[in-house]
Structure 1
Amino acid sequence: MLRSPLDTLHSSHPDLATALQTVSDRLHLASSEGLISQGAGDDSGAIENRLRLSKEYTALLSRIRALSGFEDFLQPKKGDAFARAARYGPVVVINCHDQHCAALVVLPNQATVGHVPLPKVTEADARKAQSDIKSSLWHKNIRERGVRKKGEQASEDCFPAVLAALWHNIVKPVLDYLGYTNNVPTGSLPHITWCPTGILSFLPLHAAGDYSQPGSRVFDYAVSSYTPTLTALLASTPSTLTPDSRVLAIGQPATPNLKPLPGTIHEIASIKVHIGHKYGFSQLVDDQATKNAVLDAMQVHHWVHLACHAGQNPKDPTKSGFFLHDGTLDLTTINQRSFRNKGLAFLSACQTAKGDEELADEAVHLASGMLMAGYPSVVATMWSVIDDDAPLVADKVYEQLMKDGKVGNGEAGRALHGAVAELRGKVGEMEFYRWVPYIHIGS
């Protein structure tokens, strides 16, 4: 669901992208027809056609690779290219198989990749942890953003055990390898971008910790972000708001046929206060927030904040979307637009980073879809959030980001780190289901 090299080419050179796609399709068809017709007599004409198309394809590739920024177009990535993904801090790719797991650590300015064995965790362990979290959230009746009802308690809270296992078996070995646990920073924390694969992409590595022991929480040692792929980081470009930039806020306090979200009113009001007169600000609320109106507004605004219900479509993830006044604005529709020069997408809705277990290796969810659409930095939620909590988190994130209007160098991850710390201090660190869902994806 992430933007392909051809998508990137199409954004800046649509004619070349179309020509390459056309020749590629014709070459594929000609090759298929050649296999079918083998042994059927003289096929010299078909051979000449394939040679002509092959030369045309090669010539187009040469033209594209002569363009600035496309020198490595459709070329295998080299080690030093992946190192650029870690230009703002280590990137940790975690692979998990039936019998063993391991972390690959990409470090800034280093072509070699570090290897950290993780012998105490298997794919079955990860799947069990994900199932336990899902069951716990179900018991707490956390299925969509809304006002919490009194007395909604789970019969058993799996979070302490799951987060402790993530800490001891995955996260702490990585932090030990990086030397972070031996030298706790006194100033700004280092930034780690986690790139979990498969079923691990459903687990909250950013909240890993043994909460029965002091000094055993990942957020005391590093700021955490996520990326669905290394390529997504390589493709991202930092951005800074200018006086001409505009921020768009979408609010749905009373979406038809869904639970009311009164907190979205305060949430949008606080964003407007932080933006002040520094940048342009627009809001679409209630019946103003139709699918077409929101999509058109996203085209001309640099940042977007969506405070509304949202949902994942397990049968077709590209139909996952945001629930607006007149229906669902889905990923397919969003990605039909070629957004350029975008910055932050803040998805203050439910399940915006919740994928489908059947598509665990495809990193398909609303947050990755917004990366594909051209937003290099996305704040999202792994599951539904409490309506009272969302305004606090948004308030603190924008308070920090509005100091310089920058995203793309880890700023959004740091802002969210601080905001979630405030929420954790308010509700208590053992209220995991309230503060754990907030995550940052991208650069």
Structure 2
Amino acid sequence: MGLSEKISLEIETAAHLRLSNDWDRLLARIRAMPGFESFLRPSPCTALLKYLPDSGPIVLINVDEHRCDALALRVGHENPLHIPLPNFSLKVAKDYHSRLTKRLVAHDLRAPGGSGDSGEIALEPERGGGLYGRKRVVDRSATHEILRGLWVCVVKPILDCLNFEKVDPASEMPPPRVWWCPTGPLMFLPIHAAGVYEGAETECTLDYVVSSYTPSLGALASRLANNRPIDEGISGIFLTSQPKAPGTVTISGTTEEVNSIHAMGLAAGVRVSKLEGDSLTVDGCLQNMEEFSSLHLACHAFQHAEDPLRSRFRFHNGFLELDQIIQRNLKNADLAFLSACQTSAGHKSLSDEAVHLAAGMLAAGYRRVVATMWTISDRYAPAVAKDFYQYLWSHRKEGSGSGFDGSLSAQALHHSLQQLRERLDDSEQSLLTWAAYVHYCY
């Protein structure tokens, strides 16, 4: 190495050292500011335990090639409850994910792939099909095996350790709540629907708890830490259906869905507004999202695997993109009901599988989101939504005025899925119909 090269290397090393020292000093200044003590650090356990829901535990499930475990965080307990899951493995989780995806493709509930170089994935060709049927014993399918495996090896051991028991269907008390925070391939599996559905005696997660999901512990903790009243002038719900967006299959059930919700809202005295099809522009929707605390979108949706912020909802008059929503001032945002397909379906190509439209709406400020893991049925979606809002509005607090309160949305979705289950049998098609729906956050 020549003299000039040595001098150049010393100068470069000195520059790197100077930048490193500047970085350390800048971090020290930021962390000295109130509220920024943990800036660019993992949240300490004490911070996470400080803001826990009082109506049930958060269950973090870690799937690793060496072992699988769950950690339950409970209010009033200083330490997490460790729950070993010795009968589950990363290999099994990946196998379940692969097999479930094949079954979804077979039932036209998920597209087999993306759209080439754009990275955009159409989240539905249409909002599904299927028939109502009476309860009957059915033959075991791959989906039955997956849900049974999740129940026996993951969910039931966790519920047993938490001392949760099967709730009497005749009881007027709702089941306790659980927030699931899965990792890795478990993010693509319906933990909330795990259960045994063959034979005369069936049992599943719905029989024990009301399930919600959270993309991370911090996401839920921040909602609880910043839980503030919604401006009474903003409290209400905005609805839209977009049944005939250009270049997409007509989803006529969205019109029935929104009209039904709108009529029920008016009857309940709730502040509610709707715009349909061509009457709504993208800018108009964004404006209504600022003027109403809650949102119901019944439309087509697309997820962009390469750039999640370009994930979008398809309107008659253009695309409502996630990055447009995040840029708005939604400090009063409450509930977003995304009645579109696969709005909580992450993508395995992303470094964080929990990057999807539902998580994006949480990041935009919504406190709770109802979403779907795969394509939903255009025949059943209106019934699910109707039962959901009927539950919410029949449980309104006295003195609510015209405001809209989504705080019971998890219980409302639980109720509506139980209602749908009663109308269907336990065939694979029926299980995939109701198990698509999920609730996120508080």
TM-score normalised per structure 2 = 0.82
Structure-2 residue corresponding to 1:3: none
Opposite residue 401 of structure 1, the aligned amino acid is L
Q: Distance in 2 between matches of 1:51 and 1:318?
A: 34
Q: 1:161 to 1:341 in 2, by over 3 A?
A: same
CA–CA separation in structure 1 for the residues paired with 2:147 and 2:437: 15
1:269 to 2:269 alignment: no
Match of 2:358 in 1: 367
Question: What residue is the counterpart of 2:155 in the other structure?
Answer: 171
CA-based RMSD of the aligned residues comes to: 2.9
Q: CA 1:365/1:212 → structure 2, altered by over 3 Å: closer, same or farther?
A: same
Contact 2:166 2:207 (8 Å CA) reproduced: no
SS of the residue 1:39 aligns to: helix
> Which has the larger share of helix?
1
The runs of 5 or more residues in structure 1 that have no matched partner are 1-35
1:232 equivalenced with 2:222 (yes/no)? no
Quote how far apart the aligned CAs of 1:241 are: 6.1
Pick aligned residue for 2:239 from 238, 244, 249:
249
Cα distance between partner residues in 2 of 1:265 and 1:42: 65
User: 1:35-57: per-residue Cα shift (whole Å, max 9, x none)?
Assistant: x977239969x95x987776565
2:242–2:276 Cα contact (<8 Å) kept: yes
User: Which secondary structure does the structure 2 equivalent of 1:111 belong to?
Assistant: coil
Deviation at 1:85? Answer: 2.9
The 8 Å contact of residues 91 and 195 in structure 1, kept in 2 or not, is answered as yes
Whole-angstrom CA distance in 1 between matches of 2:28 and 2:75: 34
Aligned to 1:283: 274
SS at 1:357's partner residue?
Answer: coil
Give the whole-Å Cα distance in 2 for the aligned partners of 1:182 and 1:41.
66
Partner of 1:413 in structure 2? 410
Aligned identity (percent) is 35
Q: How does 1:207-226 map to 2 (within 5 A)?
A: 207-212=193-198, 214=201, 216-226=203-213
User: Structure 2 vs 1, CA of residues 115 and 43 (structure 1 numbering), >3 Å: closer, same or farther?
Assistant: closer
**In structure 2, do the counterparts of structure 1 residues 262 and 108 end up closer, same or farther at CA, with 3 Å as the change threshold?**
same
What CA distance in whole angstroms lies between the structure 1 residues aligned with 2:30 and 2:66? 45
Three-state SS of the structure 2 residue aligned to 1:85 is coil
| 8 A Cα contact 2:147 2:195, kept in partner | yes
Task: Confirm or deny that 1:113 pairs with 2:110.
Answer: no
**Other-structure match for 1:5:** none
Given candidates 27, 32, 43, the residue that maps to 1:62 is 32
- Pick aligned residue for 1:91 from 58, 62, 77: 58
Match status 1:77 vs 2:43: yes
How much does 1:149 deviate?
A: 7.3
Rounded Cα–Cα distance in structure 2 between residues aligned with 1:41 and 1:379: 52
Equivalent AA in structure 1 for residue 127 of structure 2: G
What letter is aligned with 2:160? D
Q: C-alpha offsets along residues 125-182 of structure 1, whole Å, 9 cap, x if unaligned?
A: 11111111111111112242435278xxxx9942111100000010011011011138
Indicate how the Cα distance of structure 1 residues 368 and 169 shifts in structure 2: closer, same or farther if over 3 A, else same. Answer: same
Distance (whole Å) between structure 1 residues aligned to residue 186 and residue 406 of structure 2: 26
Cα displacement (A) at 1:78 = 3.5
Normalised TM-score (structure 1):
0.82
Q: Which runs of 5+ in 2 are unaligned?
A: 1-6, 111-123, 132-138, 398-403
The answer to whether residue 380 in structure 2 is matched with residue 399 in structure 1 is no
Alpha carbons 2:147, 2:194 under 8 Å: kept: yes
SS of aligned partner of 2:98: helix
Structure 2: distance between partners of 1:327 and 1:118 = 47
* Aligned residue-pair number: 397
What residue in structure 2 maps to residue 297 of structure 1?
A: 288
**Counterpart pick for 2:69 among 79, 87, 102:** 102
More relative contact order in 1 or in 2 (CA 8 Å, sep 6+)? 2
Q: Is the 8 A contact 1:241 1:279 kept in 2?
A: no
